[in-house]
Amino acid sequence: MLRLCSRLLRGGAVIGHLTSWSHTGPSPLRCFSVSHSCHGHRDYSLPNATWSRHTQELYRKYEELSKIGAWRRIPSYNSSVHHMADAPPRGSRVTRLFTRNLDQDGVGFEYSMFYNVAEKRMICIFQPGDYLEGPPGYTHGGCIATILDSTLGAGAMYICGKVMTANLNINYLNPVPLGSTVIVDCHVEKVEGRKVYTRGQVRSHDDQILHTEATGLFIKLNMREVDHSTD
């Protein structure tokens, strides 16, 4: 998965598509905002029956904000290659994004991301399912790290194109109950050369509890790098 991700990122297939959205206006949104699928693949960022009332309410809030132009929903497929407009056949090898690797709704990572260009901000409405348990009844810290890394990284990608995580620092302040709804609120703080500094929080759906704080350093991949890895 890592090699695939790295190759995709270095190859520009995924991020070229993403950056073209951020720099050239709405055209790629034809692909990103289709109601339920892109290239025939399911868009997991759309609500399903396992979403709680709080998760649905937050989703609707950002969906409404999207209608007036400030935010855009980020489609989510269960394989990296499905994010590509002209994905080449991948042969018989089946890969899955770590956050979309379960076949049952509601038990793993349920989430939907929205991006605000002007604020360089990516938010993720996240509902951790029962298979993400760490301490009894609470979400595993590694899962919280994963959703933070994904949200911070997605925000960095929209600003800077191809990036990989170099450093992730997390302070776990309050445990996240399984089945609860939290908002992962991330932004790009500054860009220095190839280094993209990001910061984020995980808060309860009503903003009353600060669960987690994080910073992430992402490195823009060197365009001259050639990945000689093979499958």
Ligand X SMILES: CCCCCCCCCCCCCCCC(=O)SCCNC(=O)CCNC(=O)[C@H](O)C(C)(C)COP(=O)(O)OP(=O)(O)OC[C@H]1O[C@@H](n2cnc3c(N)ncnc32)[C@H](O)[C@@H]1OP(=O)(O)O
Q: How far is the CB of 46 from ligand X (least distance, A)?
A: 15
Nearer to ligand X by Cβ, of 171 and 174: the residue is 171
Instruction: CB nearer to ligand X: give 174 or 222.
Output: 222
Taking the complex as a whole, the smallest distance from the CB of residue 84 to ligand X amounts, in Å, to 9
Nearest approach, Cβ of 8 to ligand X (angstroms)? 6
Options 105, 149, 206, 207, the catalytic residue: 149
Among 7, 61, 90, 195, binds ligand X (CB under 6 A): 195
Q: By CB under 6 A, tell whether 101 contacts ligand X.
A: no
The backbone torsions φ and ψ at residue 219, rounded to the nearest 5 degrees and listed phi first, read: -110, 125
CB of 152 to ligand X, least distance (A): 8
Is 149 known to be catalytic? yes
207 Cβ neighbours under 8 A, 6+ residues apart: 183
Nearer to ligand X among residue 29 and residue 166 (C-beta): 166
Which of 228, 224, 223 has its CA nearest to residue 16?
A: 223
Contacting residue, 83, 120, 205, 211, with ligand X by CB under 6 A: 83
**Judged by CB, which is closer to ligand X: 15, or 54?**
15
Does residue number 190 form part of the binding site for ligand X (CB under 6 A)? no
CA nearest neighbour of 203 among 217, 190, 214, 218: 214
Residue 167, Cα to own-chain centre: how many angstroms? 17
Residue list 39-68, contact with ligand X (CB under 6 A): none
Distance CA 141, CA 176 (A): 9
Q: Where are the beta strands (DSSP E) in the chain?
A: 37-38, 41-42, 72-74, 109-116, 121-128, 163-172, 182-192, 195-204, 210-220
Question: In DSSP terms, which residues pair with 195 in a beta bridge?
Answer: 192, 219
Interface with ligand X (CB under 6 A): 2, 5, 14, 18, 74, 80, 83, 149-150, 153-154, 157, 164-167, 193-195, 217, 219, 221-222
Catalytic residues: 149
